[in-house]
Structure formats: structure tokens, C-alpha cells
Copies of this chain bind each other. A is one copy, B any other.
Amino acid sequence: MTPNIAAAKAALSHLDIETSAAAVKAKSRDFFWYSPVLKARLDNVMADFVVSPRTEADIIEILKTCYTHDVPVTTRGSGTGNYGQAMPLAGGCILHLRHMAEVKEVHPGRVIVEPGCLLKDLDAACQAHSGQEIRMFSSTWATATIGGFIAGGSGGVGSCTWGSLRDLGNIIRLRVVTMEAEPRVLELRGDDLARVSHAYGTNGIITELEMPLAPAYDWVQMFVATDDFYDAAALAEDLANEDGILIKLATVFEAPIAKDFFQRVAPYVTQDTHLVALMVAPHSMDGFETFLRRRPAAKVIYRSDTAEWARKPGLVFEYGWNHTTLRALKVDPSITYLQVRYGGTAQIKLIEEMRDALSPEVLQHLEVMREAGKVVFAGLSLVKFTTEERLDEIIRMHEEAGAMVFNPHRYTLEEGGRQTVDDRQLAFKKEADPKGLLNPGKMISWDVPDWDYTRMYSYAKIREVGRS
């Protein structure tokens, strides 16, 4: 099965297609470089051409054409994922959804939108229509697309209240086109959503999304400082457990993350300051202030509605989730990160164990989430990277202590997830992408069904620049 790139390009030449090396190279990359492991392996990956459809009919034509000519198709929104989700490992076609950005309908509690809409633009449209916003978003809100978030993300700002994208109710409907001789258009709801959400576009292309909305408030964004790390963690956890105080973000940063990596915050903290970033609904601020008065060890150092900082810090959520890592590695390029799931009643003990064993090589960055109705911590720990062996050892230490690690130094769905086959996604790929042309190399169970996860998977057909 050799792709006929030239034939596909010719057939699609009436569409918005880019073929110059510079343009194709730029759109063949995402934020994989957060990981030194992925950077070492994927830096020269490059597609053959980029095509940007304007309609679902265009997508159907592109998929049909690429199917005919055996051309791999890797779909991207803005390319802000950092698991290499949008990296075209086998070259071929980049399906770029930037033109499909229409907000089609807004209703009380839900919106219908095209996949290429920026999260920021989607929120602006919902706010303007009826004072609503999406329940959760990645910290890349300003630049990422809703389709990319659903296909490549798992939760984010808002997950402290609403849980994860995979939770029932957090996606209502996805409209999907298959990669077949005659592409089909499917409407997925309920249990079927799990086939294609967080599947990196390996088994269908999302052309329309229906998402639940929450009221949009003028969230009060804050930084709260403590001298003790566990005071900061307890504040975030306890606040999330206050049923009457509505929050959208509760993030904990171990010292000296704030001092070393948050440039505009640094003047207001010391090397020993642990920081909590919060977004609280304005009508919950009275309740929050009462909550805070019971914790004299915690000091609000920044409030977006009243602060007089000479240089404002910008959006507080742009310090949390994966932006923490981004800010850290801009200052210290040797920083990378882990994604850890703590949870359970002993989660603070587990965090303490990791901190005692690994700080400051590993600095705690905790995000409050809800899981099955309970408040839990997700860790996006900052790691001072030395070698891949040491990184693997750090991951092993977490796993042996009882924390689950979603390894962000792997580009496959399985290794970045629970290291098991997702039968629903695999079954749907067999049905919707029989030639295996969608985002090749990202689903191990498709390539090597009996893979045993004892070492890092390496896709056999990686196509690097100059080797095509």
C-alpha cells in the first residue's frame, strides 16, 4: 500500500491546499516538544501537503480521495496538544480544520459548533448570545480549537466542578465522517461518544459538536500564597468541597514554581512561597472570603478585580494545567512534566510520599478535579529532566506508590492513557478506517495487537523529512 501523493494532491487542487515545504513543516508540528522524549523522536516528522476544508462535503471528498490513493490523513486544529496527537507520523495529508469554525446554534445549556472554532471564540459567541460558556477547556483556550480539545484532551479548567470530558453529559453529540471508499456521516451520542472522543482522529473526523454550556461569569481570578505546601493543598481541596462556592479553577504550585517560573508573579513571592491559583464566581466571593478568614496562613496576593500590580499577570488559568509546564520550560528548557492521578482518601499522603522522595527534582503542580462525585488531585508535576532512564524511574516510583501515571512522553493513545487497548476505539477504527489511514502510528492495538508495554512503542513507518 504505497500512497499516491501526487494523485491525491492533483485531485484536491481545487481546495485550499498548501504544498510548500515551509508551510507543510509548520503544520506538521504540535506541542510534542514539551517532552524531551518525543522531541528526540518526532522532530523531523513531516506531512506531504496540508488541505483546509470549508465544509463537511469538502471533508468527505478529501477522505474519499485519500482513501482511493492510500494517503494517510492526520487531522489538526491548532496543534496545541503535547502528546504528539497531531504529528503526521507516516506523512501524507494534514487535514487542517481552521476554516470550519462556525458556531451554528446556541441554546440554554448547549451549543452546536464546528470543530475548528477556537475555544476563546466559542466562549465569546456563547457569552454574547446568552451569557453562557463551555463547562471546561484547556489552558490553551486562546489558541486551541474545540475539535482538538475533544479529540486530544481530557479535561481542564472547569473540571474541578464538572469532571472530565469522558464523564457522561460533558459531550452531547459528535458528528463524524468515516474514512472509507464511500465515507459515511454518523451522529454519535451516549456510550458511542467514547469511540471517537480522545481518539486523536484515528477513527473518524469530527465535523460538528454539541457541547453542554454553563453560565458565564466574570470569574474573580486570584493567587493565594502560603508558607506551607500542605496548607495550599488543603485550601484548594477544601474550597472545592464547599458546595455553595462556585469555582472554575483550583491549582496548587509547590515552591519555588511561582518565584522561578511565573515572571509577573515573582515580585510578590519568595522562593518559599507555595501558590494557589483560583477562579471563583463573583457572587461566591463573600462565601470565599469567609472561607479564607478561617485560614489565616493563606494570603490573597492577587485578585483580578482589585489588583494594582504594575504588570498584570493576565489570565490566571494560563498559569495552570499545561501552561505551568510551558512557563517552566520557557525559563528552564530542561523542565518537562508528568501527568499523575492521585485520588482516594489517602491522596495527600501519596503526594507527601512523592514530594519527600523527589522534591525538588519533581515539583508538585496539582489540579483539583472531580471524579465520580469526589474531589481528587491530578498532578502535572514538573520534572527536571536528566535522562530517559531517570524519567522512567520517576514514573515507576509513582506507580509503585499507587499513583497512576498517564505518560505524556509517549505518542500512542494506549501509552498516554491506561496502557490497555480501548476496545471501543479499536472496534470503531476497524469499521470506520479499514485501511488504517487515519493518524497512523497512534493506536498500538491497531498496529501490534499483542504489544506488551514493556518498552516504549516505536511506530515502524515513521516518515521523516528527506526520507519520503
Q: A190-B293, A293-B191, A375-B373 are in contact. Are A169 and B241 (CB under 8 A)?
A: no
Inside 8 A of A288's CB, which chain B residues have their CB?
A: 168-169
Inside 8 A of A215's CB, which chain B residues have their CB?
A: 108-109, 132, 214-215
Residue A217 interfacial (CB < 8 Å): yes
The listed residue (B162, B164, B173, B246) touching A286 by CB distance below 8 A is B173
Residue A282 interfacial (CB < 8 Å): yes
Is the CB–CB distance between B373 and A169 below 8 Å?
no
The listed residue (B109, B242, B287) touching A281 by CB distance below 8 A is B109
Q: A213-B283, A283-B109 are in contact. Are A242 and B131 (CB under 8 A)?
A: no
Is the CB–CB distance between B283 and A172 below 8 Å?
yes
Inside 8 A of A167's CB, which chain B residues have their CB?
A: 242-244, 287
Inside 8 A of A293's CB, which chain B residues have their CB?
A: 190-191
Contacts of A327-384 to chain B: CB distance below 8 A: 370-375
Inside 8 A of A189's CB, which chain B residues have their CB?
A: 286, 290
Inside 8 A of A245's CB, which chain B residues have their CB?
A: 168-169
Inside 8 A of A190's CB, which chain B residues have their CB?
A: 286-287, 289-290, 293
Bound together, the chains give a CA A374 to CA B169 distance in angstroms of 20
Inside 8 A of A88's CB, which chain B residues have their CB?
A: none
Q: Give this chain's copy count.
A: 2
Is the CB–CB distance between A244 and B373 below 8 Å?
no
Bound together, the chains give a CA A110 to CA B135 distance in angstroms of 20
Residue A224 interfacial (CB < 8 Å): no
Residue A44 interfacial (CB < 8 Å): no
Contacts of A281-331 to chain B: CB distance below 8 A: 281-284, 286-291, 293
Inside 8 A of A420's CB, which chain B residues have their CB?
A: none
The listed residue (B168, B241, B372) touching A373 by CB distance below 8 A is B241
Is the CB–CB distance between B286 and A170 below 8 Å?
no
Residue A440 interfacial (CB < 8 Å): no
Is the CB–CB distance between A169 and B131 below 8 Å?
no
Residue A240 interfacial (CB < 8 Å): yes
Residue A153 interfacial (CB < 8 Å): no
Residue A163 interfacial (CB < 8 Å): yes
Residue A212 interfacial (CB < 8 Å): yes
- Closest approach, in angstroms, between the C-beta of A73 and any C-beta of chain B? 29
Is the CB–CB distance between B212 and A244 below 8 Å?
yes
Is the CB–CB distance between B244 and A169 below 8 Å?
yes
Residue A392 interfacial (CB < 8 Å): no
Inside 8 A of A161's CB, which chain B residues have their CB?
A: 243
- Closest approach, in angstroms, between the C-beta of A375 and any C-beta of chain B? 6
Residue A58 interfacial (CB < 8 Å): no
Bound together, the chains give a CA A132 to CA B132 distance in angstroms of 12
Q: A168-B287, A190-B290 are in contact. Are A243 and B108 (CB under 8 A)?
A: no
Residue A218 interfacial (CB < 8 Å): yes
Give the interface of A toward B (CB within 8 A). Answer: 107-110, 130-132, 135, 161-164, 167-170, 172-173, 189-191, 212-215, 217-218, 240-246, 281-284, 286-291, 293, 370-375
Name 15 interchain pairs, CB-CB below 8 A, sorted by A: A135-B244, A163-B244, A167-B242, A167-B243, A168-B242, A168-B291, A169-B246, A169-B284, A169-B286, A212-B244, A212-B284, A215-B215, A241-B374, A243-B370, A243-B371
16 A-B pairs besides A108-B283, A373-B374 with CB distance below 8 A are A108-B217, A109-B246, A109-B283, A109-B284, A135-B244, A163-B243, A164-B243, A167-B287, A168-B287, A169-B245, A170-B244, A189-B286, A190-B289, A214-B215, A243-B373, A373-B375
